[in-house]
Amino acid sequence: MPDMILIMASSARPIKHTDCNNKVELEQVNDSVIGKGPAISISGLEFAFGKRPVLTGIDLVIPRGVAFGILGANGAGKTTLVRLLIGRLKPSAGTALIFGQNPGPALAESVGYMPQLNALYEALTVQENLDFFARMLGLSDAKQRVRAVERAIELVDLADRADSVISELSGGMRQRVSLGAALIHKPELLLLDEPTVGLDPELRNMFWQHFKEMTRSGTTILISSHTMDDAAHCDTLGFMRGGKFIATGTPDELRQSTGKPDSTLEDAFLHLSQKSVASA
């Protein structure tokens, strides 16, 4: 049995309403859809590509209003877990519920997803991409959508490039547009698959400022990453190895698991990883 430090993060914080009409409307819609339970509850989850198991025995509960980081090496199963949570893959066994429901289109207005690839339309401008994804996410009212696009552009600090086509943007700018597209409808849950890969420290810091503001206002964020820099910003972490969580807890608790003072999260990850190999 691998080391398991299961720490439940603090209970959900209330959602603060903003002065944006769109937000109020979305929350009215979402409230009826998403209920009151935890943001994510995963139980006995297993997934295999053919005969190759990718995820085994995942149990996890993520309360609302926290930033939960999935940390693990490449191939640990992080992206597969995120894809299960957006409903693109179906579990081989067990359940993965979002707001108490199976992932799918009914939850689309409550969930924002930023894929690993930027996944934007290269020939369209920043504004056109955001407007398009806003429509796909159900913002059919043109006035509301204009406000939502303006707000997203402002949030990712690309007002001066709003009319630039994506193919003219740097990698970091594309990441920012991709983030804008994920949060344009003010989702209650944001699923981010390696959102900070390739970002310079300044941009990474800017992303985290946004994420923290969002969790403060009640949004739940699940972020997959393999950099310890991201890990330190999360409220709660899950270390993944070989398709399962080898430990979960707050960054401090995980650091302490090494039993040595001044341990870094990287030390903790390596320590717990070795321990899980030894006990396997």
Partner 1 sequence: MMLFDRKFAIAGRIVREVRRDRRSVAMIIGAPIIVMSLIGFSFQDQKSVLNQVAPALIATMAMFFVFVLTAISFLRERSQGTLERLLSTAVTRSDLLVGYLAGFLLFALIQSIIILMYTLFVVDVDYAGKIWDIVLILLMVTVTSVSMGIFVSTFAKNEFQVVQFIPLILAPQIFLSGVILPTSQLPGYFQAVSGVLPLTYANRALRDIMLRGASLSDVLPEIGVLALFAIGMLVAAAATVRRT
| Contact residues: partner 1, CB under 8 A | 83, 86-88, 105, 108-109, 111, 113, 115-124, 128, 132-133, 135-138, 140, 165, 181
- State the angle between helix axes of 142-155 and 21-34 in degrees (0 to 180), rounded to the nearest 10: 100
Nearer to partner 1, 136 or 280 (CB): 136
CB of 270 vs partner 1, minimal distance in Å: 31
CB of 127 vs partner 1, minimal distance in Å: 12
Cα distance between residue 272 and residue 106, in whole Å? 38
Nearer to partner 1, 12 or 106 (CB): 106
How does DSSP classify residue 30? H
Nearest to 115 by CA among 149, 150, 156, 86: 86
Nearer to partner 1, 113 or 208 (CB): 113
Tokens of 251: 């960054």
Nearer to partner 1, 66 or 89 (CB): 89
CB of 107 vs partner 1, minimal distance in Å: 9
Which residues are bridge partners to 95 per DSSP?
43
- First vs last Cα of the chain: how many Å apart? 7
Tokens of 266: 């990287």
Which residues are bridge partners to 61 per DSSP?
41
Nearer to partner 1, 177 or 265 (CB): 177
> Beta-carbon neighbour count of residue 21 at 10 Å?
12
Nearer to partner 1, 162 or 165 (CB): 165
CB of 74 vs partner 1, minimal distance in Å: 17
Cα distance between residue 27 and residue 144, in whole Å? 14
Tokens of 105: 């289109």
Q: Is 246 exposed, middle or buried (0-12, 13-18, 19+ CB in 10 A)?
A: buried
Nearer to partner 1, 116 or 256 (CB): 116
CB of 131 vs partner 1, minimal distance in Å: 8
Nearest to 66 by CA among 185, 154, 189: 189
The order of strands in the sheet holding 93-98 is 52-62, 40-49, 93-98
CB of 87 vs partner 1, minimal distance in Å: 7
CB of 196 vs partner 1, minimal distance in Å: 17
Which residues are bridge partners to 239 per DSSP?
71, 247
